C-alpha cells in the first residue's frame, strides 16, 4: 500500500506544470493621463511631499494599471 501511495505521489509531482502566461495590453495614453490626474488628487489629499511625489505617482498609476489588467509603466508620463 505504501508503495502505491508513493508511486502516485511521484507521478503527480512529475506532471509538467504549465504557468499560464498573461500578455498584458498597453493602456492608451489618455487612460494613463486620466490615472495621472487622479493620482495627483490622491497625492494632494495624502499630503505627499515634493521629494516623494514622482515615486508616489508612479506607484499609484501602476496600481491602477495592474487592477485593470494593463501593462505597468516604468516612468511617469509627461502631463498633457
pLDDT in tens, 22-47: 789 999 999 999 999 999 999 999 99
Q: How confident is the model at residue 9 (pLDDT cuts 50, 70, 90)?
A: low
Question: Mean pLDDT score of the chain, rounded to an integer?
Answer: 85
Q: What is the pTM of this model?
A: 0.72
The DSSP secondary-structure symbol of 79 reads: P
Is the CB of residue 33 less than 8 Å from the CB of residue 77?
yes
39 class by beta-carbon count within 10 Å (0-12 exposed, 13-18 middle, 19+ buried): buried
- Report the number of secondary-structure helices (H) and strands (E) in the chain: 3, 0
pLDDT in tens, 50-73: 999 999 999 999 999 999 999 999
Domain-wise residue ranges, the chain: 25-80
Amino acid at each position: 500500500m505504501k508503495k502505491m501511495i508513493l508511486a502516485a505521489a511521484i507521478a503527480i509531482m512529475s506532471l509538467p506544470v504549465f504557468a499560464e502566461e498573461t500578455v498584458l495590453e498597453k493602456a492608451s495614453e489618455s487612460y494613463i493621463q486620466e490615472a495621472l490626474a487622479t493620482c495627483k488628487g490622491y497625492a494632494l489629499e495624502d499630503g505627499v511631499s515634493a521629494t516623494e511625489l514622482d515615486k508616489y505617482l508612479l506607484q499609484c498609476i501602476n496600481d491602477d494599471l495592474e487592477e485593470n489588467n494593463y501593462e505597468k509603466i516604468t516612468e511617469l508620463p509627461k502631463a498633457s
